[in-house]
Amino acid sequence: MDFEPLLNWNGWGATGFVVSLTGVLFAFLANSNAKSAKIAATDAAEDVKRTIASVEAISEFGNVLNNLNEIRLKIDGQVWDKVSELCTYVNNSVALVTKTPTFQCSAETRDSLALFQAQIRVLNTSVLKAQHNGGQFDAVKAKKVLFTQSESISAILAELKSEVN
């Protein structure tokens, strides 16, 4: 059988080009599908990390609320060293949350937490003055401010819980 005309057919050049172009296209599509799958997997992993950070934040803010309540009781009893200790715990809890890279929250929440930490430091300073120098301490004002701070932490807690659910 003479294959010469078939092999010498001019159409092979164009067909070969089309076939190779199709190959390149399939390779590109397969690669982009693999990339999309990889991006989706990375996004899912990031979502999981953020959810874990939110769950941990819920737990820490729960501790903060309990400690704020304890601080109020210790102020009533003028147990200054315990108040100072609890203030430190509270600020450490908030710092633990805010310094977690995967913890995400609104700019308002960040501002609210920054104000909260500054407030707790002011309270701690007043308590230390009262404890060591016999400085005056306005327990009524301190408890009023603690109440406001508890409300802001409760609001943040509710926001986080709704995001996780």
CB atoms within 10 A of CB 1: 4
Q: Is 130 exposed, middle or buried (0-12, 13-18, 19+ CB in 10 A)?
A: buried
CB of 118 to other proteins, least distance (A): 4
Nearer to other proteins, 8 or 136 (CB): 136
Q: What value, to the nearest 5°, has the Cα angle with vertex 147 and ends 142 and 150? A: 125
Nearer to other proteins, 47 or 151 (CB): 151
CB of 62 to other proteins, least distance (A): 20
Give which of 158, 75, 149, 98 is closest to 119, Cα–Cα.
Answer: 149
CB of 117 to other proteins, least distance (A): 4
Q: How far apart are CA 117 and CA 152, in angstroms?
A: 12
Q: Give the x/- contact pattern for other proteins in 141-160, rule: CB under 8 A.
A: xx--xx--------------
CB of 123 to other proteins, least distance (A): 5
Residue 73 engages other proteins in binding (rule: CB under 8 A):
no
Amino acid identity for residue 163 in this structure:
E
Q: Give the x/- contact pattern for other proteins in 92-111, rule: CB under 8 A.
A: --xx--xx-------x--xx
- Judge whether 160 and 61 are in contact, CB under 8 Å: yes
Q: Which residues bind other proteins (CB under 8 A)?
A: 91, 94-95, 98-99, 107, 110-115, 117-123, 125-126, 138, 141-142, 145-146
